[in-house]
Amino acid sequence: VHKLAIPGLMLGEVTDKHEFVFGDEVVTLEEAIDTWKKPLEKVFPTRSEGDQSIVDTTRHYIKGNIYVCKNKVAKPNVFIPVFPGTNCEYDSAKAFERAGANVITKVFKNLDAQGIRDSVEVFEKAIKESQIIMFPGGFSAGDEPDGSAKFFATAFRNEKLKEAVMDLLNNRDGLALGICNGFQALIKLGLVPEGKIVEQNAKSPTLTTNRIGRHISKVAYTRIASNLSPWFNNVHVDDIFSIPVSHGEGRFVADEDVIQKLFENGQVATQYVDLNGDPTMNEEFNPNGSYHAIEGITSPDGRVLGKMGHSERRDSYVGINIYGQKDQKIFESGVEYFK
């Protein structure tokens, strides 16, 4: 301050030690944080008593895409279905439009039986006109009864919608994306990790209540673990991004043999990591306690991607005070896949 001739009062000096020093008093950074959290820790806990260790599975799947689009389109259509409780459709539409796509947004009307029948017809038509279907985030039907995305999944088990989605994927080289509540819908439908709409069984992965037992909202660091998916064609394995997360049921759970198979196939797309870039169970960095720090997975060919982090919540002036790269270029990659 004195060298710049700027009037001011010197309050302290920044050092590389994790401590605060005032006279003879020394308080470590850890002690300061614990004291700050303590008054409300029992009411709003910041961590559970579970495993906080580093995960021993830092995998690198670098074989690349195994599926090539044959049905090229100059400007693909993206269908975004909106259900009661959906709240990310505007951000999602903006992200795709910015990437150069046309967006079709339709609301599922459930006021009466006729509204439901009409909505099925409207959704079916929109899927047939689109190259991409994107299940957005939110709390469809308030995440009731007993769990997230059940309304979403139930609607798409309708034979007309199921057939339209599978035609999009099997016959028209289509893509599907689900973020947060949309990821929960993909899991319940079986589109990830199976790549098709199937009934869940005892071995099916699921997304369950965060280990901390409540909703979490923060920015998490996520690492690209695989380049299998065309959704990640504009990034590289081991790239790390700062991505917003906001959910109550985002903990990825599956049997160990199922998870190992996903890693081997390159279907584990992204993992939560700490400041050293290591996948971890530490809730400061793996906020929901997902097994093997898994944040996102894909279908066997990578064309269906489900992830918890809100990659669409990015703009020039969003989170400018938060360190890290925020643009995974997912939406641009999805559009470029068809060109």
Q: Which residues are catalytic?
A: 180, 310, 312
Q: Which amino acid is at 34?
A: D
d(CA 90, CA 247): 18
Nearest by Cα to 92 from 178, 216, 171: 178
User: Two tokens at 338?
Assistant: 């068809």
Residues 6+ apart with CB under 8 A from 21: none
d(CA 274, CA 289): 13
Nearest by Cα to 146 from 209, 200, 193: 209
Q: Which amino acid is at 194?
A: E
- How many Cα neighbours within 13 Å face the side chain of 199? 2
User: Two tokens at 298?
Assistant: 């894909």
Phi, psi of 169 (to 5 degrees): -80, -40
Nearest by Cα to 182 from 70, 91, 121, 71: 91
d(CA 218, CA 244): 6
Contacts 24+ apart (CB under 8 A), 158-162: 158/120, 160/120, 160/121, 160/124, 161/120, 161/123, 161/124, 161/127, 162/197
Beta bridge partners, 273, equal: 279
Instruction: Please count the other Cβ atoms lying within 10 Å of the Cβ belonging to residue 128.
Output: 13
Residues 6+ apart with CB under 8 A from 99: 331, 332, 334, 335
92 Cα distance to chain centroid: 12
